[in-house]
Structure 1
Amino acid sequence: MDAIFTSGIFMSFFIALLLFTKKNKALTDRILAVWIVLIGIHLLSYYLYHLGFWEKYPHMVGITAPFPLIHGPMLYLYTLYSLRNDSSLRLVDYWHFAPFMLGYLSMFEFFFFYSAAEKRMVDHGEVDDFALSTTIMLIGFIVSGLSYSILAYRLTWRHKRKVDDNFSFEEGINLDWLRYCIYGIGIIFFTATIIIILREGLGVEFSFNADFIFYTLIILFIFYIGYFGIRHQDMFTHNTDAKVVKGDVSLQQKYRKSGLTDEALQTGHHKLLSFMNNQKPYLDPKLTLGDLAGNLDMSANQLSQIINQREAVNFHDFVNRFRVDEFIRRATQNDSFSLLAHALDSGFNSKSSFNSIFKKHKGVTPSQFLKSGIMSENEEKMGH
């Protein structure tokens, strides 16, 4: 266990150092760096407690007691500003740290007016002067952790909808890794909630130190951040690729003022399909809703309405359906090139996105599709 803790603590401060020394740091880099430092301090504090340092140095008792209240807000703000272009926090954002600060204010007397002997007694449970504030902080931790995890997930879900409504690709704007972070933090908070309810609420006595479960999950989360940073180097180095879907491309007033009649929808739909089949704009791997709307002399809002209502899909799925069919045509007519070559020629810009999109549309992998009889059946439907 000692090796796990020391590795997690070292990794925390090492990742934070890389982020603090990163050139052209974005606001999200600073938020993540501060958060990782706080996690490292939290882990270090508990590890010192585990080693018995609080018994030797009782003035260390409770120094990180309110720390669990900081992780939810940090997760939310990191997620929020991963989707925005702001260079600094707004004043309203600092209110998220109010419970954290109130936690320390509630312990002011303990920190500055209790003797070492009295602090030992509180730590051993011989004095319950802070039982109420401790209970409030535990409840606050549960509510904060689960609530902020849900709010952060909702932000990424809205972002995913914006991406699918406006882009035919995901590279550079896909935030799946962030959703995985949110899942991980959500699992940590949920696990801690179960342990707190069982131990503090129901009086269950574990045969082992249940806190190790919570802190081990935190360390695994740190390892994931480190792994992601090494695998995707843009976390630790400057990257100029756009990762943010700006608010001006979202269709927040969707179709309210489009003014499209049923006849106009039908005409626009016919014009769209004709352009897609004849001009093949989907061969551009960076095709966006705005690009296609400009070619059709429509507004992005009108084009989105036509696709959503006439095709019953979003822009991302609509365009990639044509790319999948284009790949099938090319692979059928010429087997001298690799599947990836055909995919890139069909408008896909990576092997991973091609495989996932193809399986989503056809239910099988590209190689399985071409080896099976599904291909011939679909070719007949396509008019071959």
Structure 2
Amino acid sequence: MEVILISSIFLSFFIVFLLLTKKQKVLTDRILVIWFVIIGIHLLGFYFNQKGYWEIFPHLVGITAPMPLLHGPMLFLYTLYSLRNDRKIRAIDYLHLIPALASYLYMLPFFFFYSVEEKRMVDNGKIQDYSVFSIVLLVAILISGLIYSILSYRLTTKHQNKIDNYFSYSEGINIKWLRNCILSIGLVFFSATIIYILRDALGIQFPFNVEYIIYLIIIGFVFYIGYFGIKQENIFTNNPTIKSAVEGVSESSKKYKNSGLKSEDITELYKNLLKTMVDDKPYLDSKLSLSELAQILKISPNQLSQIINQEAKVNFHDFVNNYRVEEFIQKASENKNFSLLALALDSGFNSKSSFNTIFKKQKGITPSQYLSKQVQKDLKT
């Protein structure tokens, strides 16, 4: 455990170093730097506590106690500004930091007016001055973490819906990595809540230090960010594709609030859309977006989105990729000598992973399984 903990502390500050030396830093980089400094100090405090340094240096007692109150807000702010294009944090968003600041203000007398021996006694539970505060702080940390995890996940869900309604592809604009970050942080707080309820409310005694479980999950999160950031390059490099995607979605939603289409207009435009998809096959463009297809049809993106959602009962992403799947099936039946990937790319998909995911979503089975079934049907007939 000690080696893993030291490694995670080192990695936390190494991530900070990578972000600080990154060229063309954006707002989310600065948020992540602050967050990982907090995580690094938090883990360092836990390490010092486990090594008994707080007994040797009692002035360290309580310094990191309110820090977990910052993890939820930092997660939320990082998520929020990953999906926005602001250059600085809005004044209202600093309010999320008030609980942590209030906790530190409440502890000022402890930090500056308690003697060394009194701090030791408070840490060992022999002085109960901060016992109620400790319980309130723990509950606040757990509630804060759970609420902010839920709020952050809701932000990504809403944004993903916008992406699916605006783009026919996911490469370069996929926010799955961000959702995994949120889920991992949510897991930390959910696990902590369950553990503390079992231990403190129900009196269940664990044969191990329950804090190890919580900190192991935090350590796992640090390693995840380190691995993903270096391997996938979504965190340590700027991605103009994501930025343009967000700008496109935001601009579209601002510009077209009401389409003003009548039911008969929708029916007629939908017929024209279907005819265009069959005759011109715009879906063969792997980067096809809602605005590009709307431009072909000479209508607004919002009108096109309304037509697809209302008539086809799906979002733009699924609508376009349904045609790509059918195109692949047709090409596969006519060109048995080509690889599946080559046929998929020729049908409008731009990667093997997205092709397999979308095909299985549309047909319920993998492309190879589907084609095998088709061969068996042909043999029977």
Partner of 1:331: 332
Q: Deviation digits for residues 267-297 of structure 1, max 9, x if unmatched?
A: 1011000000000100111111111111111
Partner of 1:82: 82
Q: What is the root-mean-square deviation in Å for CA atoms of aligned residues?
A: 1.8
Displacement of 1:374 after TM fit? 7.8
Partner of 1:264: 265
Q: In terms of mean alpha carbon deviation, does 47-56 or 10-19 score higher?
A: 10-19
SS in 2 for 1:242: helix
SS in 1 for 2:242: coil
Partner of 1:350: 351
Q: Is the 8 A contact 2:66 2:104 kept in 1?
A: yes
Amino acid at match of 1:236: F
Amino acid at match of 1:369: Y
SS in 2 for 1:23: coil
SS in 2 for 1:183: helix
Q: Report whether the alignment pairs 1:34 with 2:34.
A: yes
Distance 2:57 2:212 in 1: 22
Q: In terms of mean alpha carbon deviation, does 48-57 or 298-307 score higher?
A: 298-307
Displacement of 1:253 after TM fit? 9.8
Partner of 1:248: 250
Q: Deviation digits for residues 75-112 of structure 1, max 9, x if unmatched?
A: 00000011011111111111110001011011000000
Inter-CA distance 41–374: structure 2 relative to 1 (3 Å threshold): farther
Amino acid at match of 1:173: I
Displacement of 1:261 after TM fit? 2.0
Distance 2:292 2:374 in 1: 37
SS in 2 for 1:5: helix
Distance 1:12 1:212 in 2: 18
Distance 1:307 1:249 in 2: 19
Inter-CA distance 371–299: structure 2 relative to 1 (3 Å threshold): same
Partner of 2:318: 317
Q: Percent identity?
A: 56
Q: Deviation digits for residues 277-334 of structure 1, max 9, x if unmatched?
A: 0001001111111111111111111111111111111100000000011111111111
Partner of 1:233: 233
Displacement of 1:32 after TM fit? 1.1
Q: In terms of mean alpha carbon deviation, does 107-116 or 327-336 score higher?
A: 327-336
Q: Is the 8 A contact 2:308 2:316 kept in 1?
A: yes
Aligned length: 377
Displacement of 1:155 after TM fit? 0.3
Distance 1:220 1:74 in 2: 18
Partner of 1:291: 292
Partner of 1:190: 190
Q: Report whether the alignment pairs 1:121 with 2:115.
A: no
Amino acid at match of 1:263: E
Q: Report whether the alignment pairs 1:22 with 2:22.
A: yes
Q: Is the 8 A contact 1:369 1:375 kept in 2?
A: no
Q: Is the 8 A contact 1:169 1:316 kept in 2?
A: yes
Distance 2:255 2:126 in 1: 60
Q: Deviation digits for residues 208-254 of structure 1, max 9, x if unmatched?
A: 21111110110011111111012112422344333452353454798
SS in 2 for 1:308: helix
Partner of 1:364: 365
What TM-score results when the alignment is normalised by the length of structure 1?
0.94
Q: Is the 8 A contact 2:331 2:343 kept in 1?
A: yes
Q: Is the 8 A contact 2:344 2:355 kept in 1?
A: yes
What TM-score results when the alignment is normalised by the length of structure 2?
0.95
Distance 2:161 2:234 in 1: 24
Displacement of 1:202 after TM fit? 3.5
Displacement of 1:119 after TM fit? 0.3
Distance 2:216 2:111 in 1: 28
SS in 1 for 2:246: coil
Amino acid at match of 2:266: L
Q: Is the 8 A contact 2:75 2:149 kept in 1?
A: yes
Distance 1:249 1:316 in 2: 18
Distance 1:332 1:204 in 2: 62
Inter-CA distance 375–300: structure 2 relative to 1 (3 Å threshold): farther
Inter-CA distance 91–129: structure 2 relative to 1 (3 Å threshold): same
SS in 1 for 2:241: coil
Distance 2:371 2:331 in 1: 12
Distance 1:142 1:119 in 2: 25
Q: Is the 8 A contact 1:22 1:238 kept in 2?
A: no
Inter-CA distance 122–316: structure 2 relative to 1 (3 Å threshold): same
Q: Report whether the alignment pairs 1:11 with 2:11.
A: yes
SS in 2 for 1:40: helix
